[in-house]
Structure 1
Amino acid sequence: MGKRTWNRTGTAIAMVAAALTATLTLGGCSSTPHVRTITLTLVRHAESEANAAGVLDTSVPGPGLTDKGRTQAQEIAKELSHNRHDGVYASSMARSQDTAAPLARELGRQVQVLPGLREIDAGWFADRPNSIVGPVYLLAPQAWLNSERTATIPGSIDGNQFNDEFGGAVRRIYDAGDTNPVAFAHGASIMTWTLMNVTNARNSLMLDHPLPNIGKVVITGSPATGWKLVEWDGIRAF
């Protein structure tokens, strides 16, 4: 065998050996890669002018907070400031950003706005008395919880679009690298997305224990592995 042929053969053997070593090394590792998990706190905004007026207003940016709401925003900021939150997010609606602002100041952070966290568009029911249209407005979201995601709020969206938009915002929060973020959003959107996505959902919570102003939901997990409910407005996971 000539020297040149030997060099080519030796190189080929070395490459095969390197590939075999890499295969054995990877085979010795866990077949399941580690997925980072986070704890996400979702907080409903403080009392808005629409809440006080009893009107279903899902416009953007929509109304701001009442005097009572501004006091509630300070209260939730004090409560959450001790929890070592490393990111503060809010929807594109004024009332959620106004609620998030005091906590952001406490933590020395900026409120990051994610439109996907907005309230579910009320469609035909917008600007009408909540006492009359509120239960009808929630009929489609309740159907979404039962896997009927093509149900549509008249003049608005279906469950697939809602889940994609709110879930996309949650994904952006996860991708930001925070481990303990807090996001200020809205009653129907928080309740619906949470119950659509956690593995230990109890759908009756939407009607039996609706989120009050500055009520919060805590979940843990990741977009890849799924989410688990930890707390629903003071009710621990079951």
Structure 2
Amino acid sequence: MRRVISLTWITTGITLAGLGGVTTVIPAAAAAASAFGIRLTADTEDITLDFVRHGQSTDDLNNILGTLPPGAHLTDLGEQQAAQVAQAIQQEFPGGIAGIYASELVRTQETMAALAQLPGMPSVQVLADLNEIPAGLFEEQPRNLISEAAFFLPMASWILGNLFASEPGTNYNGVVFEDQVNQAVQTMYDNTIAGDGATTAVASSSGGDIAIWTLMNVRNPDVWPILQTVLENGGPPPNAGQAILEGNPTDGWTLVSWDGIAVPATPDLITGLFVDYRDLVTVPQIALWHIWEAIQGGDQADIAAAMQTGFDQVVAAVAAFPQAVMDTLTAA
């Protein structure tokens, strides 16, 4: 972890120096926060996101690592799980559901179809950005110690703040994953706010996607309920398990419950300090990756825009870090 911190601070310093120097950090904080889309007060309407892992699929039954669309169908047990979670969701949110979403994998669509068939529910909308993290070299291979480790170790690196780790045989790293799921979340948020008053969106994806994005983004990433469900059920969360979040893309997200386990809204001191660290070290990595993507595209305007956006993002993150740490210590 010390190596990650050092590399990130070096990257941050180089980025800032190359674009005008760190002396502009504090005076530019307010302007940078505005450019980065960060609001200093929580003045954006909150919604509820209910992420649901798909029911048991034939890949789950046969212990196959399959991540690419269209993928495997639900088993009979998976259909039962989908029906049960649909009834539970209807009871949990009597105020209605603003939108129902699934990835391009048929197992997620079949899971959400059970909810959409209930009276008064909207139809299922397919979002490619909810697709699973690709298994790369281990696609369609049996799940064993080697394939599972190769698949999940990069994700563990993302959680710890190293977004440049890639899935084996792919260019799919933590920045690509973050951009992808963030786009899906933004779409669901926008649709919910523009809806008829219901403030809950329900989406089905894989357990890995749900767990990793949650741990990478919420303000209270309590790892213990997730580990508990992994140890007890072999999945994070188990088939048809739910992760319920509240918040918005501007001010952030809070994990409310994980597979029925309530999660404290305020993290403990160690978790809070980790979140502050996470929010600092990931920003320059995201900025550099977007600059690299723009360079590969070759458009000078895109490169300049990526560099300016990256500078604004790093300035905002560095300026916000000391106050975030103080707030964490005070809350603890």
User: Under a length normalisation based on structure 1, what TM-score does the superposition of the two structures give?
Assistant: 0.83
Instruction: Determine which of 117, 126, 129 is the counterpart of 2:142.
Output: 129
> For the structure 1 residues 160 and 212, does the alpha-carbon distance in structure 2 shift closer, same or farther, using more than 3 Å as the test?
same
Q: Does the 8 Å CA contact 2:150/2:168 hold for their aligned counterparts?
A: no
Letter in 2 for 1:89: Y
User: Under a length normalisation based on structure 2, what TM-score does the superposition of the two structures give?
Assistant: 0.60
Letter in 1 for 2:163: R
Matched, 1:195 2:215: yes
Corresponding residue SS for 1:176 = helix
Aligned twin of 2:55: 46
- Which runs of 5 or more structure 2 residues have no equivalent in the other structure? 1-39, 194-198, 230-235, 265-332
Corresponding residue SS for 1:92 = coil
Q: 4+ residue stretches of structure 1 with deviation over 6 A?
A: none
Structure 1 residues 48-76: Cα deviation after superposition (integer angstroms, max 9, x where no partner):
01000000000111111111111111111
Q: Which has the larger Rg?
A: 1
Q: Does the 8 Å CA contact 1:221/1:228 hold for their aligned counterparts?
A: yes
Matched, 1:172 2:187: yes
Instruction: Determine which of 231, 241, 250 is the counterpart of 1:215.
Output: 241
> For the structure 1 residues 70 and 225, does the alpha-carbon distance in structure 2 shift closer, same or farther, using more than 3 Å as the test?
same
Distance of 2:41 and 2:67 partners within structure 1: 43
Aligned twin of 1:185: 205
Letter in 2 for 1:99: T
Q: RMSD of aligned C-alpha atoms?
A: 1.6
Matched, 1:117 2:130: yes
Distance of 1:43 and 1:33 partners within structure 2: 27
- Which runs of 5 or more structure 1 residues have no equivalent in the other structure? 1-30
Percent sequence identity over aligned pairs: 38
Matched, 1:153 2:173: no
Distance of 2:41 and 2:81 partners within structure 1: 44
Corresponding residue SS for 2:250 = coil
Letter in 2 for 1:146: L
> For the structure 1 residues 186 and 95, does the alpha-carbon distance in structure 2 shift closer, same or farther, using more than 3 Å as the test?
same
Q: Does the 8 Å CA contact 1:145/1:203 hold for their aligned counterparts?
A: no
Q: Does the 8 Å CA contact 2:67/2:134 hold for their aligned counterparts?
A: yes
> For the structure 1 residues 205 and 136, does the alpha-carbon distance in structure 2 shift closer, same or farther, using more than 3 Å as the test?
farther
Distance of 2:46 and 2:192 partners within structure 1: 10
Greater per-residue helix proportion: 2
Letter in 2 for 1:86: A
Letter in 2 for 1:231: S
Distance of 1:97 and 1:86 partners within structure 2: 17
Letter in 2 for 1:150: F
Structure 1 residue 108 displacement after superposition:
3.3
Distance of 1:142 and 1:169 partners within structure 2: 22
Q: How many residues get paired?
A: 208
